[in-house]
Structure 1
């Protein structure tokens, strides 16, 4: 672990917390306040207390802006109905995510970005080094699942992100410090942007954040070789890919959150790790990490290989 003299802080931007820490750490280095920063995130979704049907909203917000308390599943259904994303398309997208992740694991594509963990359980010692979520899937199999949030809805347990635990971390340095210590950087952070959208369709957030990032970086869709877009729900991921004009072949090439999970605080850091390793593997110059954020936002970061 880190020595006690190393300070720390907790950052919360829900689904983008892990990416926000990276942006905050990079800004601290750019300001000259730090030379080395560890950033990342952790989330144990399996340990989140389930309160059942006992909400306790802020009374003022509940009266004046009830959309703030719209459940994430219903926001997915809103995207489906408002923008014509069919159940069939969502199941096909989910099956592709699963099958890409299964193939990536079989081919060892995650090995370089995973640190094996020794786990002691019931007197046995296990080496935990492989994601548990991915499973071979077909659209036909997923079509048998019932809607999860609405009787006649399109979002199911099979085309939504999983309940997962996870942690990821990045080591950030100034260019000068990296050279001094003999580190070879994977990439540089070009820009990080966040945009607000209506809470009841929070899933469209990347369609607002990514154009902001393009404008700040002087880039366009044509400059991007790889995209890691968080799959909170197949509905919103499909909408974002279509609206932004990305080639589906470069989006989540090793599967996404439908297969691998979406541990909120970890996701931004995990997607960054996956993106940077794949950029190196394919010799891609520019890549994007982006996600929607519960409550009504989208975040996006552009990276450049160095």
Structure 2
């Protein structure tokens, strides 16, 4: 099989809902990162053979196959196809996997894989409600599915994880505040080399991060879903709703070297699996175990770990179960601080992780994400 490698990876700064990117269409955002990743790599657009774009709420400005539309907006040749795919929060990580698989199979030499989500312009669940009403529960799902699985809100799943793993409110709040502290430090020191410029006049960082999270205010927040005194999961412990886009340029290693490009990393494992659809956020544990087994590596071998901070309880339960070194987990903060633009986050975390590995001289990186309805994706890369 051919060897798939990552040649370049970029992302926009992630903006708050109603913030920096709220006046920019998502298809334009995705076109921006396509041009950005090709420009940084120095690859002519004519060499690209496919564009794979993860996007969760595929409606409105994100409908009608945003992958193809973004490729056309970016000025790629008309012969370059595009596709939009939805594995919920793992969508653009899945896009990277599929692009790498197409290259490994010998079907393509160069693929742009990435994702986009404008949660300002295309409200979450718009594809479910069709804009007719707000999403209030699971009324649009098949009744037969609900009879088989008593599906619950992700916030309630996060609460149950905290209970099952014995996580305290203080522990959950501490992780959340640490996420902001790490993210602010990384931004202040200019470490995010994966970032493309934000809107004019904005600093070179993600919009949602805070220089200092006030411990008293964090501790005073009421539970997000349960009644006061009956829950521990608050808004401060959850990923921020955000806008953004990211792109990863994948290549056949031999072709890239022949064309004068320098690969950044190669793949050691790619995993997607299902887990309990009620608890739904714990698939990161078996996904990590499977990825490590496929790569023939140990968690201790990972120099950099990106686990998406959907909720603090997810990260802490994963960490407690697997015994990860906290210093190597989200060293530059996570989605609690920088936000989670659903379809963009997977490729965005990959770009961020590669920048971190380069900055620290690390060799191996693990990226793992929990996904709604009980799924998870995991990737292990080796820096070259």
Give me the TM-score of the superposition, normalised by structure 2.
0.75
**SS of residue paired to 2:107:** coil
**SS of residue paired to 1:199:** coil
1:230-259 CA-partner distances (Å, limit 9, x unpaired): 000001111001111110001000000000
CA distance in 1, matches of 2:337, 2:232: 18
1:7-51 CA-partner distances (Å, limit 9, x unpaired): 011111111111101110001000110000000100112331471
**SS of residue paired to 1:9:** strand
CA shift in 2, pair 1:202/1:53, >3 Å: closer
Aligned-residue offset at 1:128: 7.0
Aligned to 1:94: 176
CA distance in 2, matches of 1:116, 1:288: 26
Superposed CA RMSD: 1.5
Aligned to 1:122: none
Structure 2 residue runs of 5 or longer lacking an equivalent are: 1-73, 127-132
Aligned to 1:24: 98
Aligned-residue offset at 1:127: 5.5
Aligned to 2:8: none
CA distance in 2, matches of 1:215, 1:209: 10
Given the alignment of the two structures, is residue 148 of structure 1 paired with residue 232 of structure 2, yes or no? no
CA distance in 1, matches of 2:260, 2:213: 44
Given the alignment of the two structures, is residue 53 of structure 1 paired with residue 127 of structure 2, yes or no? no
CA distance in 1, matches of 2:135, 2:292: 41
CA distance in 2, matches of 1:160, 1:44: 18
**Residues 77 and 153, structure 1, Cα contact 8 Å, conserved in 2:** yes
CA distance in 1, matches of 2:329, 2:295: 20
CA distance in 1, matches of 2:203, 2:83: 27
CA distance in 1, matches of 2:179, 2:147: 39
**SS of residue paired to 1:56:** coil
CA shift in 2, pair 1:127/1:162, >3 Å: closer
Q: In structure 2, which of residues 135, 150, 156 is the aligned counterpart of residue 74 of structure 1?
A: 156
CA distance in 2, matches of 1:155, 1:208: 23
What pairs with 1:253-272 in structure 2 (closer than 5 Å)? 253-272=331-350
**SS of residue paired to 1:113:** coil
Aligned-residue offset at 1:81: 1.3
Structure 1 residue runs of 5 or longer lacking an equivalent are: 120-124
Aligned to 1:202: 280
What pairs with 1:149-228 in structure 2 (closer than 5 Å)? 149-151=225-227, 152-228=230-306
**SS of residue paired to 2:244:** strand
1:67-94 CA-partner distances (Å, limit 9, x unpaired): 2xx1111110110112211111000000
**Residues 78 and 200, structure 1, Cα contact 8 Å, conserved in 2:** no
Given the alignment of the two structures, is residue 84 of structure 1 paired with residue 159 of structure 2, yes or no? no
**Residues 150 and 278, structure 2, Cα contact 8 Å, conserved in 1:** no
CA distance in 2, matches of 1:240, 1:62: 27
Aligned to 1:286: 364
Aligned-residue offset at 1:143: 0.6
Aligned-residue offset at 1:176: 1.0
Give me the TM-score of the superposition, normalised by structure 1.
0.93
Given the alignment of the two structures, is residue 134 of structure 1 paired with residue 209 of structure 2, yes or no? yes
CA distance in 1, matches of 2:315, 2:309: 6
**Residues 191 and 359, structure 2, Cα contact 8 Å, conserved in 1:** no
User: Which one has the bigger helix percentage?
Assistant: 1
**SS of residue paired to 2:233:** coil
CA distance in 2, matches of 1:64, 1:243: 28
CA distance in 2, matches of 1:237, 1:230: 8
CA distance in 1, matches of 2:135, 2:102: 41
**Residues 88 and 139, structure 1, Cα contact 8 Å, conserved in 2:** no
Aligned to 1:105: 187
